[in-house]
Structure 1
Amino acid sequence: MEVEAAIAAHAPAGFPVRNRIFARSINGVVTNFIWNLYLDHLFLIITQIGTVGTVISARQDSTFDGRTTFTTAVVLGKREDPGLELASRQLVEVIGAAGHNKPITLCLGLKGTSPALVKELVAAVREDNVWS
């Protein structure tokens, strides 16, 4: 909470970037969540290892018949990890369901990518997001 207070103290009034920083225990490991919501983009870091880990670009698109699709692509890091693919798709979907439809940059520094871990990450993002 000291970091969050320090950021708030240095941000000028009306600063266009909304920030939220919190930590939660996920599968017994302290996991840090750092949200930065810009006017045209969302930047989300979820880390258990103290670094940004794999950087993933994601976005929500609408098809011509009104359906929603989600696109993710690894920008930097582990490209062939199905667990990271699952995590990024689930996170983008829950963020989109909450009404955020702008491009997203996800940074996932995780010790593992089990389905149980992904489920807990998604629950944490759903509960403690930058727009709440």
Structure 2
Amino acid sequence: MDQNKEFLKNDNYPELTVILAVSSSSQKDVCRYKGIKTDIIISVYDDHILVMATQIGAMGTILHARKEEGMAIHPTFSVPVIFGKRKEPMLAACARQLIEQISSSGSPRTLLLSLGLQDHSLDTLKTIVSSVTENRLW
């Protein structure tokens, strides 16, 4: 196994496998969540974190989440949709949750999130956020 990759089975979600990659290469693994194949890939780059979660074998909706720099006491975040479904507020909420976690840990990286999901339920999105934050590389 390449030393830059780590494959984790999540004890809380036994049907979900997370692939962590710290280089530009990534691998795909097959897993199931609620009977639906779900792949999660996390890749860390110098200035970005790429998270891909797919149940459809494609990238789906792509969001770019970042912390806005400014003088505000409370941080603000920008989460525009780059490609895909713009009328899915739960996808933006998922990206916001992840960028808040990234930012609160002190990382200056922005997030590129790809969600190709059949199931857009709150439980699925919570599972994705939990799995990514539990296995964070930032």
Which bracket does the TM-score occupy, shorter chain normalised?
Answer: 0.7 to 0.9
Q: CA deviation at 1:7?
A: 8.0
Runs of 5+ consecutive residues of structure 2 not aligned to the other structure: 6-20
**Are residues 98 and 84 of structure 1, via their aligned partners in 2, closer, same or farther at CA, if it must alter by over 3 Å?**
same
**Is 1:70 matched with 2:77?**
yes
Q: TM-score, normalised by structure 1?
A: 0.74
Q: 1:102 aligns with which of 92, 98, 109?
A: 109
Q: Tell me which amino acid in the other structure corresponds to 2:67.
A: Q
**Are residues 120 and 23 of structure 1, via their aligned partners in 2, closer, same or farther at CA, if it must alter by over 3 Å?**
farther
The aligned length equals: 120
Q: 1:79 aligns with which of 86, 96, 110?
A: 86
Q: CA deviation at 1:62?
A: 4.0
Q: Tell me which amino acid in the other structure corresponds to 1:109.
A: G
Runs of 5+ consecutive residues of structure 1 not aligned to the other structure: 10-16
Q: Equivalent residue for 1:13?
A: none
Identical aligned residues as a percent: 32
Identify the structure with the greater helix proportion.
1
Larger RCO of the pair (alpha carbons < 8 Å, separation 6+): 1
Whole-angstrom distance in 2 between the partners of 1:122 and 1:25:
16
Matches within 5 A, 1:44-55: 44-55=51-62
Q: TM-score, normalised by structure 2?
A: 0.71
Q: CA deviation at 1:66?
A: 3.3
Root mean square deviation of aligned Cα: 2.6
Whole-angstrom distance in 2 between the partners of 1:96 and 1:23:
30
